[in-house]
Structure 1
């Protein structure tokens, strides 16, 4: 049975009168330096948007797959779903990120936390690529992911077997992550597009429970745009609450598909069950833009969280906006 989290509390009980509007500093905890064609606007464009948008720090990663341009397609695809061509695993994405970050002056470089993502999560050799990147770029990489596991539309276009959180190849990755004290950001949908129950919960729990010394960050709380188009997962806040209570090594990334329609309702007001959940576990959530290669929307995307932040106590709001991810990176917020 899923745990209750105070669902009976009224939303209005979470709001406190504000003498003046708050201004937030952000850490973007989910940012892709490149898109599905491995293109990027570049670091200077990203830094300009960060400075403009009160973003002090950012997790930064590539994309573990690249979209194929098939010879029978008259135009180069610009996005994952632009045509029926498949995607393939692309290890060079990590080198693109490494070179971009390493070329920065030290002061700017310190604002980024690069993650390794360019490996096939069904390949028992994946750990070799991760070790290679750690050796080639000592001290640069601070985590692993976003590991693309069950991912509906994306998974359907990927060559090979379906990636799963509890795949034996991922067990090796999790063990390596624990050895090097690297958090692992995983995209693992909690259910399929048309199934109303959390049918993939076991895969996630087996991974997290088998590796208590590994820090897991669960991207989007198991949601996706494709799932959201077809159904609303009523069980989600209670399930997240139960998982956080059971596993101290699990954190929740609230980027993109979980903000709407779950955390904010159709009037852009925070839902009481999510406010209760974040107040109960104030240091177990992060927010991110989930932008891919293009950064003009960085400020507006993170400001979309402000209705949620404004409804939380100031300290909790600042933790969520900026400091929780820094703690995961071993950085003491100032």
Structure 2
């Protein structure tokens, strides 16, 4: 047998073995809402079933800090917050719902869930006192704060009361408390409006990053949203902005939930974008995945597995960090010992 034929066979064998050893990922879902905008849920049994089906070991679990009103003048109950013009209002009982769901679980199941407290008005300077009270009522339950709604497309327009900002005085008090209790904070703060093609609201995020260096911030889907994409498609300034922020602020982490998948992480053909791969490789501990599902879990596994083409293009160690470990690493130190 010729040397060239031997080399060809060896190459084919290598390709076959490599293909057979495709990566298998275990996930942490860093952004999951147990309830929808009507504070309703499929429940913990369906959630655990969906987690098992999708290889999801751990989830960040939170409520929704607002509830959608079924207005007296509306003959049909809306199905989503944008279903009609009725407002949404701050709803503190969302945390009670999450806490009750967690208390139904056995000790082994509980280790997979990481509850974040979200039911407070971010414009109210009493918010930190309320959070402290909730932490005292359920010692050891809460492992983070958020998702905190600030700039948020149509939710901002529909919310009763003032527009929240990530850099207001009420939230500054919350960030101080988060540092005191070693709790990460997940912020929803859109980077711009539906029509401005520049990082219009970036200062609202950057100010707390600068002023609260001991607080760990998770930026929900890097300031993007489906509504922004609907009006502006791809934000060309997002990548350089995120890159600079990660360089400047070691307390910033990025939630790559579903609005980041396209058009940022993958192109129209489903191919991973090189520039985003390079950014994740440069900051391998600062990115995490989230489904951002709201109370319904049928598509949870599919949503997490949709990131596989991007993960497969990363170095294997980095891919597993992004898929599972980075989220767990930012949880309070007191909770690290129970994580597997």
User: Normalising TM by the smaller chain, what interval?
Assistant: over 0.9
Report what 2:263 is aligned to.
261
Report what 2:187 is aligned to.
186
Report what 2:223 is aligned to.
222
Report what 1:293 is aligned to.
295
Q: 1:235 Cα deviation (Å)?
A: 1.1
1:127-138 correspondence to structure 2 within 5 Å: 127-138=128-139
| Alignment deviations for residues 147-203 of structure 1 (CA, whole Å, 9 cap, x no partner) | 000001110100111110100000000000000000000000011010000011111
Report what 2:214 is aligned to.
213
Q: 1:71 Cα deviation (Å)?
A: 1.0
Matched, 1:156 2:157: yes
- CA distance in 1 between partners of 2:128 and 2:85 (Å): 30
- CA distance in 1 between partners of 2:49 and 2:225 (Å): 29
- CA distance in 2 between partners of 1:167 and 1:144 (Å): 16
Pick the aligned partner of 2:245 from 240, 243, 259: 243
Pick the aligned partner of 1:316 from 315, 318, 322: 318
| Alignment deviations for residues 218-274 of structure 1 (CA, whole Å, 9 cap, x no partner) | 000010111001112111111111000000100000102111111111111111110
1:104-123 correspondence to structure 2 within 5 Å: 104-123=105-124
SS class of match (2:148): strand
Q: 1:278 Cα deviation (Å)?
A: 0.2
Report what 1:5 is aligned to.
none
Report what 1:101 is aligned to.
102
Structure 2: gaps of 5 or more residues: 1-14
- CA distance in 1 between partners of 2:137 and 2:77 (Å): 33
Q: RMSD of the TM alignment (CA)? A: 1.1
- CA distance in 1 between partners of 2:289 and 2:159 (Å): 27
Matched, 1:279 2:275: no
* Larger helix fraction of residues: 2
Report what 1:89 is aligned to.
90
Q: 1:207 Cα deviation (Å)?
A: 1.0
SS class of match (2:157): helix
Q: 1:103 Cα deviation (Å)?
A: 1.4
1:23-42 correspondence to structure 2 within 5 Å: 23-42=24-43
TM-score calculated relative to the size of structure 2? 0.92
Structure 1: gaps of 5 or more residues: 1-16
- CA distance in 1 between partners of 2:225 and 2:300 (Å): 20
- CA distance in 2 between partners of 1:101 and 1:116 (Å): 13
Report what 1:21 is aligned to.
22
Q: 1:320 Cα deviation (Å)?
A: 0.4
Number of aligned residues = 318
SS class of match (1:287): strand
| Alignment deviations for residues 2-43 of structure 1 (CA, whole Å, 9 cap, x no partner) | xxxxxxxxxxxxxxx853321110000000000000000100
Report what 1:199 is aligned to.
200
TM-score calculated relative to the size of structure 1? 0.93
Q: 1:50 Cα deviation (Å)?
A: 0.6
